[in-house]
Amino acid sequence: MAVITYRDALNQAIREEMRLDPSVFLMGEEVGVYQGAYKVSRGLLDEFGPMRVVDTPITELGFAGVGVGAAMVGLRPIVEFMTWNFALLAIDQVVNTAAKMRYMSGGQISVPAVFRGPGGSALQLAAQHSQAFESWYAHIPGLKVVMPATPADAKGLLKSAIRDEDPVVFIEGEMLYNTKGEVPEGEYLTPIGVADVKRAGTDVTLICHSKTVSVALKAAEQLAADGIDAEVVDLRTIRPLDHETVLASVSKTHRAVVVEEGWSFAGVGAQVVDVIQREIFDELDSPVLRVTGADVPMPYNKHLEKASKADPPKVIAAVKRVMYLES
């Protein structure tokens, strides 16, 4: 398999789907001539032309609405937000129209649209541009929420999202675009709603997604040096949530730590903990702990920013608590 970057895996997925299906098109700010703010759409304008790679004005609400309308009449738009922070301006179209149209039309109208772009924090982008909103969108019936952590999953999940008949919120890790990994060439689909065990273990389960997968894997490596064997479960999809994989892992290890980038209150981890304690409470040897971003707007100062993020030392400390090695 070829080793390519996360951004090139996304580009490959879009290119392949546009070649396969003429109803697929890409739209958003600077996706054409500039080739994307993060170069995900590099080369697509030259191959497919301005009718299928559409540069839009800086009007998130407007072009999101155009995308929803296009999906309602049979096209498959890929709507790129330069960042999910900017998508706050388009949330009415995503939440009130795309998510509800199938229900409100009695199943007559579907909205096969993908809303995609980078989410979460990067480096010193400060409070307004460092927000993890996946729990917001996962709260909404009618939306699927997908967050790949690796180049292979980025390709496989994006292809599945483009083919899905329902609207998909596809949040890419802003710090992941340059990461590399093996990616199958050609037809390769990763099913939506299926988690992945990124590392097998027996002592504790680390449940994570997107950028926190690398955090959990680094923590697992360090824990191994202390004789603690951690299993790492990458959710990949926030909604629908793969209960089966999570419960099977925790039933095996009997301990769990949930790691996420977002704020703690009403976060994704809270939903995961609810599933675990409701379904397999008697399997737990200790309470499930969460490692989250700090409950503050993201600081600009790089030292405070680092302190605000989930990192391996925080995960290791939580693991030692659930194993009763530290108080």
The DSSP secondary structure of 195-262, one letter per residue, reads -EEEE--SSEEEEE-TTHHHHHHHHHHHHHHTT--EEEEE--EEES--HHHHHHHHHHHS-EEEE-SS
pLDDT higher than threshold 80 for residue 134: yes
* Average confidence (pLDDT) over 197-216: 98
Q: Is 196-322 the same fold as 2-183? A: yes
Q: How many CB atoms lie within 10 A of CB 263?
A: 18
pLDDT higher than threshold 80 for residue 99: yes
pLDDT higher than threshold 80 for residue 306: yes
CATH superfamily of 2-183: Thiamin diphosphate (ThDP)-binding fold, Pyr/PP domains (3.40.50.970)
Q: What is 1-14 written as a DSSP string?
A: -EEEEHHHHHHHHH
Pairing of strands 76-80, 114-119: parallel
* Average confidence (pLDDT) over 155-166: 98
Q: Which residue type sits at 42?
A: R
Residue written as tokens 């982008």?
A: 125
* Average confidence (pLDDT) over 161-175: 97
Catalytic (active-site) positions: 60, 129
Contact 31, 38 (CB under 8 A): no
pLDDT higher than threshold 80 for residue 327: no
**Which helix or strand (DSSP H or E) is residue 65 part of?**
helix 60-72
C-alpha to C-alpha distance for 268 and 285, rounded to whole angstroms: 22
* Average confidence (pLDDT) over 303-313: 96
- CA distances, 312 to each of 166, 276, 294, 307 (Å): 36, 23, 15, 12
CATH code assigned to 196-322: 3.40.50.920
pLDDT higher than threshold 90 for residue 314: yes
Q: Where are the domains of the chain?
A: 2-183, 196-322
Say what the pLDDT of residue 326 is. 78
> pLDDT confidence of 312, banded at 50, 70, 90?
very high
**Which helix or strand (DSSP H or E) is residue 318 part of?**
helix 312-322
For 232-271, how does the pLDDT look when each residue is reduced to its tens digit (9 = 90+)? 999 999 999 999 999 999 999 999 999 999 999 999 999 9
